[in-house]
Amino acid sequence: MPTAIREIKFTGTIANGQTTVTVAINVPWSGFVHRLMLKRTGGSGSYNLTTNLYSNNPTDSSIPAETVEIIPPQTAASTAVLAYRNDYGQPYQTPQRNGILYLKLTASAAVSGDQTWFGVLTIRSTDS
């Protein structure tokens, strides 16, 4: 099977007064996560941002989030670029082959004004 490297671009916005947002990212149903990069492109203020990447929606209380976590939590200052890299790739598989990963962005405090983040997820997959 041929291997495909894909860069998937997405945005997520933490709304004014909130601390979290979950972004659904369309991906092949299985593969390997090699890189996740996030940079704030809208908003201001200083806080820490933590990201979690899951194979199931973390708002589904019937499944413990820790059991579907793909990469360990990553934290960076809101003024910095958040970067995760894994040369070998962290394997993932989406349930029922639905092709959706969930990235949860969590600010360390309620944000003042909408905070927009631009991200790139680099994956490797044999699923075309």
| Residue 63 belongs to domain with CATH number | 2.60.120.380
Q: How confident is the model at residue 96 (pLDDT cuts 50, 70, 90)?
A: confident
Q: Is residue 84 part of a domain?
A: yes
Distance set, CA 120 to CA 6, 9, 37, 60, 65 (Å): 10, 5, 5, 25, 22
Q: What is the pLDDT of residue 93?
A: 92
Q: How confident is the model at residue 107 (pLDDT cuts 50, 70, 90)?
A: very high
Q: What is the pLDDT of residue 2?
A: 62
Q: Is residue 67 part of a domain?
A: yes
pLDDT at 125 exceeding the cut of 60: yes
Q: Is residue 24 part of a domain?
A: yes
pLDDT at 120 exceeding the cut of 80: yes
How many domains would you assign to the chain?
Answer: 1
Nearest CA-CA partner of 53 in 17, 15, 110, 12: 12
Which one is predicted more confidently, 3 or 111? 111
Distance set, CA 115 to CA 59, 74, 83, 128 (Å): 21, 18, 18, 34
Residue 110 DSSP SS3: coil
User: Which residues form the domain of 90?
Assistant: 4-123
Percent of the chain with pLDDT over 90: 80
> Measured at the alpha carbon of residue 70, what is the angle toward residues 123 and 14, in degrees to the nearest 5?
90
In this structure, what token pair is assigned to residue 49? 């941002």
Q: Is residue 118 part of a domain?
A: yes
Q: Is residue 21 part of a domain?
A: yes
pLDDT tens by residue, 10-69: 999 999 999 999 999 999 999 999 999 999 999 999 999 999 999 999 888 888 888 899
Q: Is residue 128 part of a domain?
A: no
Q: Is residue 53 part of a domain?
A: yes
Q: CB of 19 within 8 A of CB of 98? A: no
Element holding 23 (H helix, E strand): strand 20-26
- Residue-level length of the chain: 128
pLDDT at 1 exceeding the cut of 80: no
